[in-house]
Amino acid sequence: MRQNGFLLALPTIAWLVVFFVLPLVIVLVVSFMSRGRGGVAELPFTPAHYERAFGIFSIILWRSIGLAGLTTVVCLVVGYPLAFFISTRRRRLVQQIALFLVILPFWTNFLIRTYAWRILLGEQGTINGLLLSLGMIDEPLTMLNTQFAVLVGLVYGFLPFMVLPIYASVERFNFRYVDAANDLGANDVRTFMRVVLPLTLPGVLAGCALVFIPSVGAFVTPDLLGGTKGLMIGNLINNQFGGSGNMPLGSALSIVMMAVVMLSLLVYVFANRRDAGA
C-alpha cells in the first residue's frame, strides 16, 4: 500500500523535480558564477553578485517589500468588508453574482488592464479630465509614473486574491457564535475582534500571502505605471536578463527575492500554526 502510494505520487514528484527543484538549483548555481560576454554565466564562482544585491540594489528591494506590504494592507482593508458582505448575503444567487463580478476582470488580459490604468491616471487622462471639468482641481494631478500609481495597479490586480480566501473563511463561519457573544454581553466591536476575526484568520492569512508574494515580484505593473520612482526589484531582475544584461546578477537578485517570499511564507505558516493551536 505504501509503495502504491509512492507510485501514485511519482508523476507529481517527477514534475516537481524537473520543473521546480532542478531550475532552482540552476538559478542558485548561476547566481554564484561570473558574468561572461553578453551576460551569460561563466566560471569561476564568486559572491560578488550577492554583494551588489545586498548593496545598492537593497534600496529597490526595500521599496518593493514596502509597496507589497502596503498593497496587502489596502487589499485587506478593502477586501475583508467586501468578502464579508458577499458571504453574508441570504440569497445564494446574489452571492454567486457578486463572486462572478469579483472574478470578471480576469477575463481581460492583465497587460491590457494595466495599460488602461495608464490612460486613466495620465496627465490628460480620464480622472484628471473629470476632476478638472468638475472644478475640483485647477492643475492636473501627477499620478502616472509614481509609487501611488503602482500601488493602485497592484491593489486593483490582486484584490480578488484577498477576497476569495476570506470569502471561503467567512462562509464557513457559524454566525451562532456572534449571537452567543452578544448574549454574553460583548458589543459589536468586541465580538468582531474576539470572535469573528480569529475564526476567519486562516482566510485572512491566505489572502495576505496570495497578495504579498506576487506583489513583491511584480514587474508589469511598475514597468507600465511606476516610471523611475516606482521601479521595483522585478524590473531590475528583468533588466539583467535583457539583451545586454547579467544573468548571474539576475539570478542572485531572484534568489534574494525568493528568500523574502520564503520568509513571508514562514510567517504565514507560523501564524497559522499558532492559530490552529489556540
Partner 1 sequence: MKESLLLILVMLLLAPAALAQDMAHEPWTCPEGYEGQTLSIFNWSTYIAEDTVPNFEEACGVTVNYDIYESNEAMLARIRQGNPGYDIVVPSGGTVQRMAEEMLLIPLDLEMIPNVANVIPDLLGAAYDPENEYSLPYQWGTVGVGYSTEVFPDGITSWHQVWEHDGPVAWLDDRQTMLGIAHLFLGNDPNSTDPDEINAARDYLIEKGGNVVTVAADDGQVLLERGDVDIAIEYNGDILQISWDCECDDYAYAIPEEGSNVWIDNLSIPVDAPNPELAMVFIDYILDAKVGADLTNYIWYASPNQASIESGYIDEEILNDPAIFPPPEQVANLFAIIDVGAEAEELINNAWDELLIFLGQ
Considering only 2, 37, 90, 91, the residue that binds partner 1 (CB under 8 A) is 37
Among 246, 251, 254, 264, binds partner 1 (CB under 8 A): 246
Residue 162's alpha-carbon distances to 205, 212, 255, in angstroms, are 9, 10, 26
* 3-state SS assignment for residue 142: coil
- Cα end-to-end distance, the chain, whole Å: 35
Distance CA 52, CA 252 (A): 9
Binding characters for partner 1, 40-79, by CB under 8 A (x = yes): ------------x---xx-xx-------------------
Reading the block at residue 265, the C-alpha cell is: 511564507
Q: Which of residues 105-124 bind partner 1 (CB under 8 A)?
A: 119, 122-124
Nearer to partner 1, 52 or 113 (CB): 52
**Nearest CA-CA partner of 204 in 242, 230, 170, 237:** 170
Residues 140-169 that bind partner 1 (CB under 8 A): 142, 144-145
Q: Does 36 bind partner 1 (CB under 8 A)?
A: yes
The three-state secondary structure class of 35 is: strand
> How far is it, in rounded angstroms, from Cα 173 to Cα 192?
12
One residue of 35, 65, 200, 212 binding partner 1 per CB under 8 A: 35
Other beta carbons within 10 angstroms of residue 129's beta carbon come to 13
Site pattern 191..230 for partner 1 (x: CB under 8 A) = ------------------------------------xxxx
- Contact residues for partner 1, defined by CB under 8 A: 35-37, 39, 52, 56-57, 59-60, 119, 122-125, 142, 144-145, 227-231, 235-236, 239, 243-246
